[in-house]
Amino acid sequence: DMLEVGCQHGPGGKLDPGLSFAETRSHFGAWAIISSPLVLSLDVNNETVLDLVWDVIANKEAIAINQAWAGHSGLPFKESSKRIVHEWLDWPSRDSGKHEQDGDEAELHVQSADSPKWQYFYKPLAGGSTKVAVL
């Protein structure tokens, strides 16, 4: 797993457009509230991409929540019973030997998974306060 904020393409390569702005905010927020390392994987020399995500990656409150430690990294505590299905393009496994043969790339195939329509995450902070994120 990696923080995918600002990546121009998703795991499907050039055919995968990456995250929308709403997905970018949600992804960064989830990483922030569970204290995951906020290591950027975008090209910081690409000013167009940087301008698109700057308000997200420079959010001082989200960064402060991420860096605060009161003995707990943050967890989901409630989620929707309704599920949504996500589909994405993926390459065959490199272990299958079918990813690339004689310079020809293998065909992409569709993967899918489901997740809750929404989730609540919480993170206890020093002084008895708690932060909550709704994703």
> How does pLDDT run across 67-117, given as a tens digit for each residue?
998 888 889 999 999 999 887 666 665 555 554 544 555 676 777 888 899
Q: How far apart are CA 7 and CA 28, in angstroms?
A: 12
Q: Identify the residue whose tokens are 């393409």.
A: 9
Q: How far apart are CA 26 and CA 99, in angstroms?
A: 31
> How does pLDDT run across 12-51, given as a tens digit for each residue?
667 777 788 888 899 899 999 999 999 888 888 999 989 9
Contact (Cβ atoms closer than 8 angstroms) between residue 15 and residue 106: no
pLDDT mean across residues, the chain = 83
> What is the DSSP annotation of the chain?
----TT-SS-TTGGG-----HHHHHHHHHHHHHTT------S-TT-HHHHHHHHHHHT-HHHHHHHH--SS---EEEEE-S-EEEEEEEEPPPGGGT-SEETTEEPPPEEEEEEEES-EEEEEE-GGG-EEEEE-
- Look at residue 92 in the predicted model and tell me its pLDDT: 63
Smallest Cα–Cα separation from 99: which of 13, 41, 17?
A: 13
More confident position, 63 or 103: 63
| Distance separating the N- and C-terminal Cα atoms of the chain | 18
